[in-house]
Structure 1
Amino acid sequence: MLTLRFSAQDLARTRFGHSPLWEVVTSVEALKDPGGKPLHLGWARETRAALPAADLSLLFALVPIPTTYVPSFLTPVPRTGSPALEDELAALAATPAETVRADLDRFPVALPAPVAALYRDPGDGLARLADQIRAYWEAAIEPHWSRIQRLVEGEVMYRARSIARGGAAELFEALHPQVGWSDDTLRVRHRSYRATRTLDGGRGLVLVPTVFVWPGVFSQSTPPRQPGLVYPPRGIATLWESGPDRTPDALAAVLGRSRARLLAELGSPASTTELAARTAMPAPTVSHHLTTLRAAGLAVSHRTGRSVLYLRTPLGEALLSGGPT
């Protein structure tokens, strides 16, 4: 059990971030132990066939199975909301040698040969590690990055509404089954880790939704690093979905087939253009129906850069599932 005690200032500075490097690390675990992450089995099969012939031994050795510990220099909490992979790799390559060795001293097993070489010469080893991460990223993550980003953006939008409705209590209580909140204290139920921390200095906590961490959670709480909690976003079961129209007939009878289909597609954020491509409807028709769904309180819109993304509201989800509102 990890126990994190918050001050009012810590709550005020709690924020979200999404890390390409965290997706890399947790996806390596999914690739090495597909039975532990069955949701990603299809991705794992596709990725094994696509992996380059380049040496990935150091990256893979740094993520042991079972994954009770990954060196903290490889799993930094994102400093901004959505850093680019190259920015994270630049920070990785600049990690001081003494930090690398201190993190590797906590490695749960005897250091494999590639990791032992990193320990002896951190500067050269980190450069090789960055190259391996780039090669792995291009084959395993980059082809799916826009899909991953859309799911994470939807997660952040949903949690922002949770904070608006019920504050930090609602945010943390519904975050993940292993996470609980009471008396200004966040408790994360880890099977093999126990610690109690007070978030000193009002630095807050960084929440990092990450698709490949499913079904569990990771935490980063070793001082002096920024504390972070890595957890799977809502709607993770839809990440790899594709296929025929799954619009409920009863809902289509009430809303009309087109609007019901669009509501069914809004489990993760999507733009008018994306929805038009998925549903084969003309973009003006999609835009008209989205305006109607939004006016009825079944969808919300959010501008991200030049795009406007739409997402189901809790009312829309209840209507789609047939549950109570």
Structure 2
Amino acid sequence: MLRVHFTAEDLFNVTFASEPLPLVELAMAVVACQRTDESAVFGRWRARVGRDLPRTAGPLLDLLRPDGQNPQFVEPFARSLEEGRAAVREAGPLLTAEGLDRAAARAPGSASWLRALWGQDREAWRALDDAITAAYEVVVAPHWTRIRQSFRADVAWRTRLLAAHGIKACLASTHPAAGWSGTVFEVGVAPAYEVRLDGRGLLLMPSPFWTGRPLLAEGPAGRPLLMYAALTPLPLVGPGAAEGALDALLGRTRAAVLQLLVEQRTTSELARDLDISLPSVSEHTRTLRAAGLITTERDGKAVLHSATGLGVDLLHSGG
């Protein structure tokens, strides 16, 4: 379980990142292409990335594993690819033997190149730099506009949620297993990790690639950072401008699901009315439920969904 202890000062010092960061999103994309969850949303995207990702990107797959608990030096908080590449190179002399042991134990193949990397071998560092550039050109650069659209829509939604219902509702909506015990934010999913903010506050950063529980890391200037799955993952962000505010926030199909749920419907009825698969409906309703926009209940074998007051309010505000 993830447990984050807040003081009163911390609760007043929760803010959102101002923009997505290229190498952070690259790391999340490399992780996402190796995960197997949420296949209804990410399945086709993963297949496409598997075809398009060049072999030169291979070193990143050794460093960045599917659980997201990865060496932070590969995902610096830089505002451009070039700035990020420089930050990665500058981190070389700071790598520790303990870090090598962790990376080597998690790598799917031979750890020999990782030992060369930690040993400051020039060829190993060149291979890592080439891997970052090659992967970025495939999974991030062509989709940067959509990445920013997902990021901004999520921040806009949670800022509204924060203003209307407070910080506890805002953070609890980041994952289905998230909640509060007093002033401790908890996510009931392994692995176990506990941190005390001690007045440093918290920086929130949504990612359209991440699909797991919120990740806690040391952010800019040593401030704790919580990365969580954006409400609209990248595969659901349209290639062009959204037709309305609600489509921009949720994605066209998920917005349509919420609109239909002004009246109670079953999973099968949603699949029929929207001409999508049952697994797709389940993925959409799970995310909408986690955000507090719908409720779900069982009636015998049927699963019934309906919009909450918050969901209806969002529909009204989104036109």
Q: For this structure pair, what is the TM-score category when the shorter chain's length is used for normalisation?
A: 0.5 to 0.7
CA offset digits 1:3-41 (Å, max 9, x no partner): 2212233233322223322221222223234x3341222
CA offset digits 1:230-282 (Å, max 9, x no partner): 11111338725579x9xxxxxxxxxxxxxxx7466444599xxxxxxxxxxxx
Q: CA deviation at 1:136?
A: 0.7
CA distance in 2, matches of 1:86, 1:269: 31
Closer/same/farther in 2, CA of residues 58 and 180 from structure 1, 3 Å limit: same
How many residues get paired? 253
- Which residue is equivalent to 2:215? 218
Q: Which amino acid aligns with 1:47?
A: V
- Which residue is equivalent to 2:51? 49
- Which residue is equivalent to 2:80? 84
- RMSD value, Cα: 3.5
- Which residue is equivalent to 1:239? 236
Contact 2:237 2:248 in 1 (8 A): no
Q: Which amino acid aligns with 1:59?
A: L
Closer/same/farther in 2, CA of residues 264 and 15 from structure 1, 3 Å limit: closer
- Which residue is equivalent to 1:22? 24
Contact 1:205 1:227 in 2 (8 A): yes
| Partner SS for 2:29 | helix
CA distance in 2, matches of 1:68, 1:215: 8
- Which residue is equivalent to 1:10? 10
- Which residue is equivalent to 2:69? 69
Q: Which amino acid aligns with 1:186?
A: F
CA distance in 2, matches of 1:242, 1:165: 31
| Partner SS for 2:190 | coil
- Which residue is equivalent to 1:186? 185
CA distance in 1, matches of 2:140, 2:223: 25
- Which residue is equivalent to 2:224? 227
Contact 1:57 1:114 in 2 (8 A): no
Closer/same/farther in 2, CA of residues 132 and 232 from structure 1, 3 Å limit: same
Q: CA deviation at 1:185?
A: 1.6
CA offset digits 1:114-146 (Å, max 9, x no partner): 222212227764454233111111112211111
- Which residue is equivalent to 1:305? none
Q: Which amino acid aligns with 2:22?
A: P
- Which residue is equivalent to 1:295? none
TM-score, normalised on structure 1? 0.65
Q: Which runs of 5 or more residues in structure 1 are unaligned?
A: 246-260, 271-312
Closer/same/farther in 2, CA of residues 320 and 168 from structure 1, 3 Å limit: closer
CA distance in 2, matches of 1:84, 1:190: 33
Q: CA deviation at 1:74?
A: 2.3
Closer/same/farther in 2, CA of residues 100 and 150 from structure 1, 3 Å limit: farther
Q: Which amino acid aligns with 2:37?
A: G
Alignment of 1:135-146 (within 5 A): 135-146=134-145
CA offset digits 1:172-197 (Å, max 9, x no partner): 122221322242222233312x2332
| Partner SS for 1:61 | helix
129-138 or 88-97, which deviates more = 88-97
| Partner SS for 2:204 | strand
Closer/same/farther in 2, CA of residues 219 and 262 from structure 1, 3 Å limit: closer
CA distance in 2, matches of 1:189, 1:75: 26
| Partner SS for 1:56 | helix
Structure 1 residue runs of 4+, over 3 Å off? 98-102, 107-111, 122-128, 240-243, 261-270, 313-321
| Partner SS for 1:219 | strand
Please say if 1:208 is aligned against 2:205: yes
Q: CA deviation at 1:52?
A: 3.4
Please say if 1:131 is aligned against 2:130: yes
TM-score, normalised on structure 2? 0.67
CA distance in 1, matches of 2:244, 2:27: 34
CA distance in 2, matches of 1:122, 1:199: 37
- The share of aligned pairs that are identical, in percent, is 26
Closer/same/farther in 2, CA of residues 240 and 172 from structure 1, 3 Å limit: closer
